[in-house]
Amino acid sequence: DIGGDGSGGRRGDDDGGVGDGVGTLSALPPHAGLLMVLDVPQERGMARLDHRYLDGLQVCRFPLLPLLQPLPLDWMYLLYAVMALGTWLALLGADRYGSIDGLFRPQKRNAHVPLWNYTLLRAQIFIVYFIAGLKKLDADWVGGYSMGSLARHWLFSPFRLVLSEELTSRLVVHGGGLALDLSAGFLLFFDATRPLGLVLVTYFHCMNSQLFSIGMFSYTMLASSGLFCDPSWPRRLFSRCPRWMQGVLPTTAPPQHSPDCHYGGRGAARRPALRQQLAAAFTLLYVLEQLFLPYSHFITQVGVFTQTRRWKDHADMLKQYSMCLSQILPQYNVSQPQIYFDIWVSINDRFQQRLVDPRVDLVRAEWSPWHPTPWVLPLLLELSPWREKLQELESGLDGHTDVVFIADFPGLHLENFVSEDLGNTSVRVLQGQVLLELVEQQRNHSLQQGDSMQLPAGQYHKVHTVSARPSCFMYTYVNTTAVALERNLSRLQELRDRLHNGTETEPLPPE
């Protein structure tokens, strides 16, 4: 609870007080509270409670603890009403300056705020930026693969006027995002660099609000930027308002001393009280915990596929979903169900690969947060250098040919069906050895690295990986239906132009 003015890099008053350290904290709750009020009906789903918590509807949910289940619909309405009321109350102040409490408790009406309050909030925002920057120091982000297509967004059009799309992705999206996250906390903390920091983070979060569906996060971070400013800025702002408005605004008088703050002094008065020492210890432990949590995955063995919020990318949620289905399916005459997942993902322009072992029944599979999950397959990092080669192969195709790059583990097979709409479909082995099984023809073909084979349309086939290391292969195909549609549209446009110019002399075709 050591007193200070709460601003980065500055000391407090001569007597060690916190100066105007009440204004910023009083301004943050109205901003954050307003965002939370908007968040409850939108992101939290209050406007769709009748669809999300319909009484009697059996659905699988993903609570942190299986015992946590939704209340009946009427009680959920009450719970959300309490949430909304709580966020509205947050609009009324921070228990000090400009708060409802201050009307009934004069000692808090316009009093100093302990510096550890600012330390916690500023440290929390600083950690959000800095840890995000540290997480971006991996090879995928530095190499420009994590957000490969983001540079095509219209927000980056000004940069593409002077840079190519590839350079915009590498320098602006990846390089700029890394530099901003690593430096934003420092820029906001120091007085000399704070104006530049405020401009950069405001631009950054405004862009993120348009680029990603991340709810209120961007707006919450914008509202919290004022925490790094001089704590007296709301007081100075109110003092510039017209006199008739100042009667309803919080006071602009200097703040009074607070019994919760330690102002220093001589002798015994210089030593902080026990609760102030405990507050300092709590602040230190909290900051250390927040620094540790982003790197705590080694405790809860969640695997490597955790870059999205989809349930299929998390082993614990897959297990939870399987157990939920195993309890529901017997009601549909499915006794002792066995549930298998065959999930394919591609991380940052790598090969498509399996996420979990498709041979494992997840109803009976073991899972624990304290040891690795054996049925989660590893990310094939050794194939990362292939990404440039894959881009070259894809860029060498004509506009009508599509390609899919696959990597599979030894002992597994991919079963696929070639639609009749896909003409000229072939498979080519890039690494390893596979056994291609044509199911209807009951024929097998062994393919080595560099071999390719045409696949019959309208039939199933299986690609077995028989090599000791993972196999890599690619499908190339032409969507004949799309090509025919494009050709017919071109003919229709030409016919329309001739009719418009009066140069069409032939009778119109019936189609």
Cβ distance 207 to 214 under 8 Å?
Answer: no
Give the SS3 label for residue 443: strand
Q: Which single residue is written with the structure tokens 């050794």?
A: 382
Distance, CA of 334 to chain centre: 37
Cβ distance 378 to 307 under 8 Å?
Answer: no
Nearest CA among 224, 253, 256, 248 for reference residue 236: 253
Residue 211: how many CA atoms within 13 Å on its side-chain side?
17
Per-residue DSSP letter, 410: T
Residues 108, 135, 136, 312: which is the catalytic one? 136
- Written as six digits, the tokens of 488 are 């017919």
Nearest CA among 203, 184, 206 for reference residue 136: 184
Cβ distance 231 to 94 under 8 Å?
Answer: no
Cβ distance 279 to 114 under 8 Å?
Answer: yes
Rounded Cα–Cα distance for residues 510 and 496 (Å) = 15
Q: Which single residue is written with the structure tokens 């204004």?
A: 23
Sequence length of the chain is 511
Per-residue DSSP letter, 14: T
In angstroms, what CA-CA distances link 157 with 88, 97, 141, 173, 481? 40, 44, 21, 12, 33
Rounded Cα–Cα distance for residues 378 and 304 (Å) = 7
Give 500: exposed, middle or buried? Use CB within 10 Å, 0-12, 13-18, 19+. Answer: exposed
Cβ distance 227 to 118 under 8 Å?
Answer: yes
Strand 401-408 and strand 471-479: pairing? antiparallel
DSSP per-residue string spanning 186-221: HHHHSTTTHHHHHHHHHHHHHHHHHH---TTHHHHH
Cβ distance 337 to 395 under 8 Å?
Answer: no
Other C-beta atoms lying within 10 Å of the C-beta of residue 139: 11
Q: Is 136 a residue of the active site? A: yes
**Alpha helices per DSSP H over 396-502:** 480-501
Q: Is 412 left (phi over 0), alpha (psi -120 to 50) or beta?
A: beta
Residue 284: how many CA atoms within 13 Å on its side-chain side?
7
Per-residue DSSP letter, 71: P
Among all residues, which ones are annotated catalytic?
136
